[in-house]
Amino acid sequence: MNLLLLHQRPDIYFVVAAFLLATGIYGLVRRRTLIGMLIAGELIFSAASLNIMAVNRFFAPDPAVGQILVLFIMGLAAAEVAIALSIIIAVYRNYRSIHSTDMSELKG
């Protein structure tokens, strides 16, 4: 295995993507505020994008498809962050807190 051609091997990108996924899952489990969970979710999005890009670069017959797919993922992530932050702000107005343990009642 030639170390100098490391950036032309697909598996290193897969390992980095797996690492991003693992840290994202850890953050999603351990963070106790909504914004922290949102950040961890963005890490998982990044892992998925990197994985798709690596597969696209090395195995896809037409490398434009994966790039367009990742562009769509970025657009959806932006929309998701806008919605989630507005919900977080609305929750903060009602509860004066965005800790995930405090939001334990439903309006019935």
Partner 1 sequence: MKEIPFAPYILLAIFALAVGTTVAGALIAAFSTRIIRGVSGLMISCIGLAGLYYFLNSPFLALMEILIYVGAVCITIVFGVMLSEPDEPAQQEKRSHAALWGGGAILACLIVFVALSRLSLAGPWTLANAPADAGSVRAIGISLLTTYSLPFELISLVLLVAILGALVIARSGRTKE
Asked if residue 107 binds partner 1 (CB under 8 A), the reply is no
Instruction: Map the footprint of partner 1 across residues 10-69, applying CB under 8 A.
Output: 10-27, 29-36, 38-40, 42-43, 46, 49-50, 53-54, 56-65, 67-68
Taking CB atoms within 8 Å and a gap of at least 24, the contacts of 32-37 are: 32/99, 32/100, 32/101, 33/98, 33/99, 33/100, 34/84, 34/88, 34/91, 34/98, 34/100, 35/85, 35/88, 35/98, 37/100
Site string for partner 1, 73-92 (x = CB under 8 A): -xxxxxxxxxx-xxxxxx-x
